[in-house]
C-alpha cells in the first residue's frame, strides 16, 4: 500500500467571464472577505486587466478573463476557501459562471523503485505496448466517468494518475466537474454555480476521499 500522503492541494475552479483587475487583495478586504492584515500581507505577483495573481499563507488566487482558480495546500483551509468563493460570487452576482471544478491533487512517496514500477504496471499493463515499444512506462493515465444528470446541471469525475514530478512519487488528481445545462449567455449569472458549490460540497469531499482510499487500497 502507498505510504501516507506527503502533499495535497485543493483547487476550486470557476469558468465564466471575469474582470481580473477587480480581484485585488484590498477589494476582498473592503468586502469583508479578508481581514486587513491578510490584505496588507498578500504577495502580489501581477495585477493586470487580463490576469491577477496573489498569494496568502493559505491561498493562491489566479484570475484570468475566463477562469478563476483558488488553491490551497492546507486541508484545514478548505472550508475557508469554499466560503471565500461563495462570498465573492454572491457579491459579484452578475458574473457569468457556467462551470465549476472541485479538484484535489494528492502526492505520495513510493518506498522503492520496484514498487514504483509495479504501480505503473498495475494501472497500465504493458503487454500490448511491448509489441512496438522497447521499454514502455506510464507518464499519465486519465479516465472519465459517465455524466450524471441533475435537473439544472450535469456532473462527472475525471481521474488522472501517474508519477509525480519527483522520482519515486505518485500523483493522483481528481476533478469533480459540474457544468450547467441550458446555458443562456445573455442571462447567465453566478447564482446557479454558487448554489451547486454550496449543495455539492460535502458530497464532493466524501466522493474524493472514497476514490482515494479505494484506489490506494488496490495499489502495491
Pick out the chain residues at pLDDT < 70: 1-3
Residue 183 phi, psi (nearest 5): -80, 125
Give the DSSP letter string of 169-209. EEEEEEEEEEEESS--TTT--SHHHHHHHHHHHHHHHHHHH
153: which residues sit within 8 A by CB, 6+ positions away?
Answer: 178, 179, 180, 181, 192, 196
Instruction: Give the domain range for residue 36.
Output: 10-95
Q: Would you tell me how many other CB atoms lie within 10 Å of the CB of residue 91? A: 14
Are residues 55 and 131 located together in one domain of the fold? no
pLDDT tens for 155-181 read 999 999 999 988 899 999 999 999 999
Last residue of a domain, one of 53, 76, 95: 95
39: which residues sit within 8 A by CB, 6+ positions away?
Answer: 25, 26, 28, 29
Q: What cell numbers appear for 63 in the block? A: 484570475
Say what the pTM is. Answer: 0.94
Are residues 54 and 140 located together in one domain of the fold? no
Are residues 88 and 170 located together in one domain of the fold? no
CA distances from 125 to 89, 117, 128, 138, 168 (A): 45, 11, 8, 9, 19
Report the C-alpha gap between 90 and 219 in whole angstroms.
42
Q: How many domains does the chain have?
A: 2
pLDDT at position 187 is 76
Are residues 158 and 205 located together in one domain of the fold? yes
Last residue of a domain, one of 61, 95, 129: 95
CA distances from 211 to 33, 161, 184, 205, 214 (A): 32, 12, 34, 10, 5
Are residues 141 and 77 located together in one domain of the fold? no
pLDDT at position 123 is 95
Paired with 62 in beta bridges are: 53, 69
Last residue of a domain, one of 44, 78, 95: 95
Are residues 110 and 218 located together in one domain of the fold? yes
The contacts found for 53-62 with CB under 8 angstroms, 24 or more apart, are 54/24, 54/25, 59/84, 61/23
Contact call for residues 161 and 171 (beta carbons, < 8 A): yes
Amino acid at each position: 500500500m502507498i505510504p501516507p500522503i506527503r502533499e495535497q492541494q485543493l483547487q476550486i475552479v470557476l469558468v465564466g467571464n471575469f474582470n481580473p483587475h477587480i480581484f485585488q487583495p484590498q477589494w476582498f478586504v473592503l468586502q469583508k472577505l479578508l481581514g486587513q492584515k491578510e490584505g496588507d500581507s498578500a504577495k502580489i505577483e501581477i495585477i493586470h486587466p487580463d490576469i491577477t495573481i496573489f498569494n496568502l499563507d493559505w491561498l493562491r488566487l489566479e484570475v484570468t478573463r475566463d477562469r478563476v482558480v483558488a488553491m490551497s495546500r492546507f486541508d484545514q483551509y478548505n472550508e475557508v476557501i469554499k466560503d471565500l468563493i461563495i462570498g465573492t460570487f454572491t457579491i459579484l452576482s452578475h458574473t457569468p459562471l457556467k462551470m465549476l471544478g472541485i479538484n484535489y491533487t494528492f502526492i505520495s512517496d513510493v518506498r522503492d523503485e520496484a514498487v514504483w514500477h509495479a504501480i505503473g504496471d498495475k494501472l497500465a499493463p504493458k503487454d500490448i505496448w511491448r509489441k512496438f515499444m522497447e521499454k514502455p512506462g506510464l507518464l499519465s493515465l486519465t479516465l472519465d466517468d459517465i455524466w450524471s444528470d441533475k435537473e439544472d446541471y450535469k456532473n462527472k469525475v475525471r481521474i488522472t494518475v501517474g508519477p509525480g514530478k519527483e522520482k519515486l512519487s505518485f500523483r493522483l488528481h481528481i476533478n469533480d466537474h459540474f457544468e450547467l445545462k441550458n446555458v443562456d449567455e445573455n442571462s447567465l449569472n453566478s447564482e446557479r454555480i454558487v448554489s451547486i458549490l454550496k449543495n455539492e460540497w460535502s458530497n464532493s469531499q466524501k466522493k474524493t476521499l472514497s476514490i482515494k482510499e479505494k484506489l490506494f487500497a488496490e495499489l502495491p
